[in-house]
Structures are given as structure tokens and as C-alpha cells.
Amino acid sequence: MSRYLLVGGSLAGAWLLRKVFRTDQGVEEAEGAAFRDRPIDLQGSATSPQVSKAKHSEGQGFSKTTTLVLLVLALVVVALVFSLRAAILAVLCSVATVWVFGGKSRPQELRQLSQHTRDNTSNAHRLAGAWVKDKRASSSMDGVLDLAEIHGLLRQAINLLTGCEISVEDGIFNFIVTSAVSWFKIIERYPLTGEPKRCRRRDLRRGKHVGSVEQKDSCVYIHMDWEAPIPGYGCDQISSPSENTLLIKSSICIGGQRASWTAVYHRKGSKS
């Protein structure tokens, strides 16, 4: 009888471990998809102002905390009914079961992720460098600043943007925007895998925006979503039509209203 209980407990523990691993993976994939599917139109055509967000139904899986609590309770019961040695043996059997039946594909997944990161890195490297803004060729940002209700010194600092710096290090896309006003600087870092990250809001209001990077058709897209005050979402499309030219087409949506603008940059030190 004790053997059957030990085997049953081991399988139950393995099922709980596998459940939490699958749940965490599903959450990460859904968070990335939420930003890739955002309804931003950089050409200004009418699209739905609704923000797509990842939602998970309750009961889809256990959290790590719940799983650990259940496992600890199960081990306590086994230790009280049988012995501490039986509890330890049940843990070892659970881990071995997960490794045998659920862990074989892990190295292949890691290799695919590594290859995906290398491919994305090679594409993003084309945008790397220090860039100087061409104010004459760039469009006005007045409509965007009005929509975002940005005034005073901050509005002046944004209107005096001087350039940007882009670099790729260890699979991270680094995006820095500078201004003639020394205290204003945008510094954002996003994994090229598309994992969402929290960054300081560009309007310097309290809170942070959640952003992610997507690469498509030789462009890098930065998707952003922020909550109150003045909640909204936006997207930057970064491309390099020539070796010494960088284009950033941006769009934001606040309260169902949309504003877009284009910034033109030239590589620092080049003859534009």
C-alpha cells in the first residue's frame, strides 16, 4: 500500500511542477503577443483605439507560490504518515519525472531562442550608432505635445531634441534620446526577444510605461503602453533607408485621438 501512495505522490508532485512551468511560459508568450498585436497605424489611417492586452482565465494554472505550498503540505503529510526518508524519495521521484518527460525539449528550445536572438541582433546592428537630428527634415511635434498635454519647460526640452544613440549589447536594444536641455534624456533598454520591460515615461509623469521591441521588414518597432495619468499607447518605427540616414516614425493614441510625427537623423560625423 505504501508503495502505491509513494508513486501516486510522486506523480502528483511532478504534475504540479509541470503545471507551474507551463503557466509561466504561457504568461511570457501572452505578454509579448500583447505588444506585437497592438493596433498602431503609423500611416494615420483609422484603427480601433482599444488597447489589446493579454488576459488569462482563472484556473488556467497554479502560481509558483501555490505550487510550493501544495508540495510542502504533501511532503509534511508523507513524512507524518511514513517517514522523512519517504518524503525525500517522493521529491526525488517528482523531479526525475519532470526531467524525463518534460525536460528533453528544453535544450532545443534554448538553441532556437539563441539563434533567434542572434538573427535579431544582426538586424538591429544596422541601426547602431550616434545620430544627429535634422530639424528641417523632421515634422513638427506640436500636435503630439498638445495631445499629451505637455507644456512649459518639458515641451521646450522635447522641441530641442538633438539626436539619439542606438546600440545592441548582449541581446539588449539600447535606445537613448538626447536634448539641448541637459536634464532631459530618454534611456530605454529592451530585450530583442520581445520581452516587455518597464521604463521611465517619456513625458516624465509619475509611473512607467511598459514597452517591448519587435523586428519586422528590416525595421525595429518599440511598442509602448502607459496608464494614468493620461493613459495611452504608442509605437516607434525605426529604420535606416541608407547607411547614414535614420528615420523614426512615431504615433501615439490618447483618449481615442491619434497623433503622428516623423524624425529624420543623420549619422554623426557624416556629410548630410
Over the stretch 25-59, which tens digit does the pLDDT of each residue have? 444 444 444 444 555 555 433 333 333 333 333 33
As given in the structure block, the three cell numbers for residue 188 are 530605454
Overall average pLDDT of the 240-262 stretch: 97
User: How many angstroms separate the CA atoms of 140 and 32, rounded?
Assistant: 32
Overall average pLDDT of the 144-161 stretch: 95
User: How many angstroms separate the CA atoms of 261 and 251, rounded?
Assistant: 7
Q: How many CB atoms lie within 10 A of CB 133?
A: 21
252 close to 258: Cβ distance less than 8 angstroms: yes
User: How many angstroms separate the CA atoms of 136 and 233, rounded?
Assistant: 27
CA angle 129, 135, 140 (to 5 degrees): 120
Give the global pTM: 0.61
Domain boundaries, the chain: 2-104, 126-267
222 close to 40: Cβ distance less than 8 angstroms: no
pLDDT value for 271: 73
**pLDDT band at 171; cut points 50, 70, 90:** very high
193 close to 171: Cβ distance less than 8 angstroms: yes
On the question of pLDDT at 103 being above 60, the answer is: no
State in words which class domain 126-267 has: mainly beta
